[in-house]
Amino acid sequence: MLPRLATLVENEDPRGLEALDVLYPLTGKAHVVGVTGPPGAGKSSLVAALLDRIRASGRRAAVLAVDPTSTISGGAVLGDRIRMMEQHADEGVFVRSMASRGRQGGLAWATAGLVHLLDAAGYPLVLVETVGTGQDGTDIASLADTVVVVEAPGLGDGIQAIKSGLLEVGDIVVVNKADQPGADDARRLLRAAFDLAHPTDSRETPILPAVAITGSGVAELLTAIDDHVSWLTESGQLTVRRERAARSEVLAGIRMALDRRLEAGSSHMPELASLISRVARRELSPREAVETLTVMLGPSVNS
Ligand SMILES: Nc1nc2c(ncn2[C@@H]2O[C@H](COP(=O)(O)OP(=O)(O)OP(=O)(O)O)[C@@H](O)[C@H]2O)c(=O)[nH]1
Ligand SMILES: [Mg+2]
């Protein structure tokens, strides 16, 4: 039933959404791990290697790959890999991919919905792969309990990675493709940058080498992931993160609902159409039109 239900949730079929409402109280038990990083860093390879490791130790896990075919690094190849994983999935593993294409905003919302479903289905570990550049709105950082940022040597210099802001959200950083030149330098540079930026943090962000295609370093990564959830629990950070996740999901939902209503525009909101026409005729400034429409949301932060 899970694949069918996932499709209903993904398509925002009312039956899927109702099921989510019913299932939601059962969620919150899974450890949600976001795996993000620049295109081609080896996220899918690393997730596949992690799955092998997880299965070998008799644990169960679900994987959600967001947009596996959208990137510059050979989307078709990657799509194949995900499909392969889907086929090989046994009862202890559930692999699902989701495209952001054609989705009118609401990617974070849809991702969260599927994660809740996998959580409710009883998978103790849910891995979510997203492409992260530091500027996109997939919000994996607010959704996940643990964020693994995957970097690789040769994907632009380390300074760029630091400036992108992506590293900031990482609870664990992996320098993948450690079999390639420059990996040690990349790791040293990242270590120095982290220590400079966070000299007094109670927890040091692990920066781990890995070779996803051979599985080297993957056991250490899984240990680091498990250690992080222990740290979250003991430090009370888990509660803080869950609160933040709930907040960002609700706000994302509100934004999406507003966006859609506005997109539906003239047919559902004759006032909007007439305001837009008045702006076009220069009878009303754009700001005045916005003000008129947002009055219903309460006083603006500026006033
Ligand atoms: N040499 C080497 N190649 C690797 C390693 N890990 C992955 N690759 C290769 O790097 C390419 C990209 O790997 P993927 O796992 O698809 O990377 P990704 O980050 O998921 O890519 P996108 O989903 O497109 O952003 C593939 O050709 C992999 O075989 C590694 O540790 N060493
Ligand atoms: Mg991938």
CATH classification at residue 112: 3.40.50.300
Which of 44, 85, 166, 180 to mutate for ligand 1's pocket (most ligand atoms within 8 Å of CB)? 44
Helix (H, G, I), strand (E, B) or coil at 131: strand
Cβ(180) – ligand 1 distance below 6 Å:
yes
Question: Which range scores top for mean pLDDT: 81-85, 199-203, 286-290?
Answer: 286-290
> Ligand 2 centroid vs 254 CA: distance in angstroms?
29
Which of 35, 69, 73, 130 to mutate for ligand 1's pocket (most ligand atoms within 8 Å of CB)? 73
Structural domain includes residue 260: no
Q: Mean pLDDT throughout 47-76?
A: 78
100 and 196 part of one domain: yes
Among 126-130, 186-190, 270-274, which stretch is predicted with the lowest mean pLDDT? Answer: 270-274
Total residue count of the chain as it appears in this document: 303
163 and 293 part of one domain: no
Structural domain includes residue 66: yes
Question: Which range scores top for mean pLDDT: 58-67, 88-97, 138-147?
Answer: 58-67
CA nearest 108: which of 72, 146, 144, 63? 144
> Ligand 2 centroid vs 42 CA: distance in angstroms?
7
31 and 149 part of one domain: yes
Categorize the per-residue pLDDT at 72 as very low, low, confident or very high, splitting at 50, 70 and 90. very low
CA nearest 212: which of 47, 9, 79, 66? 47
Bigger pLDDT: 238 vs 163: 238
6 and 127 part of one domain: yes
CA nearest 93: which of 7, 2, 223, 229? 2
What pLDDT, on the 0 to 100 scale, is given for residue 73?
A: 47
- Give the ligand whose atoms come closest to the C-alpha of residue 155: 1
Bigger pLDDT: 192 vs 154: 192
pLDDT over 70 at 257, yes or no: yes
47 and 190 part of one domain: yes
Structural domain includes residue 50: yes
146 and 295 part of one domain: no
Q: Which atom of ligand 1 is nearest to the CA of 65?
A: 23
Q: Which atom of ligand 1 is nearest to the CA of 81?
A: 16
CA distance 234 to 244: 18
Structural domain includes residue 258: no
Convert 17-36 to b/e letters by CB count within 10 Å (16 or more is b): eebbeebeeebeebbbbbbb
Residue nearest atom 32 in ligand 1 by C-alpha distance: 177
Mean pLDDT of all residues belonging to the chain: 84
CA distance 36 to 200: 25
99 and 225 part of one domain: yes
CB 96 within 8 A of CB 65: yes
Dump pLDDT digits (tens) for 90-101.
778 898 888 776
Cβ(179) – ligand 1 distance below 6 Å:
yes
What pLDDT, on the 0 to 100 scale, is given for residue 267?
A: 64
CA nearest 125: which of 204, 210, 199, 64? 64
Cβ(35) – ligand 1 distance below 6 Å:
no
123 and 191 part of one domain: yes
What pLDDT, on the 0 to 100 scale, is given for residue 177?
A: 95
Domain end point (choices 250, 278, 294): 250
Total domains in the fold of the chain:
2
Give residue 62's region: left, alpha or beta (phi > 0; psi -120 to 50). Answer: beta
Residue nearest atom 9 in ligand 1 by C-alpha distance: 42
**Crossing angle of the two packed helices 2-10 and 14-23, in degrees rounded to 10:** 110
Domain end point (choices 250, 277, 294): 250
Domain span including residue 295 = 269-303
Ion ligand 2 neighbours (CB, 5 A) are 43-44, 78
89 and 193 part of one domain: yes
Structural domain includes residue 262: no
153 and 296 part of one domain: no
7 and 80 part of one domain: yes
Dump pLDDT digits (tens) for 180-217.
998 998 888 888 888 887 777 778 899 999 999 999 99
289 and 184 part of one domain: no
Alpha-carbon dihedral of residues 251, 115, 169, 138, nearest 10 degrees?
Answer: -60
What pLDDT, on the 0 to 100 scale, is given for residue 176?
A: 96
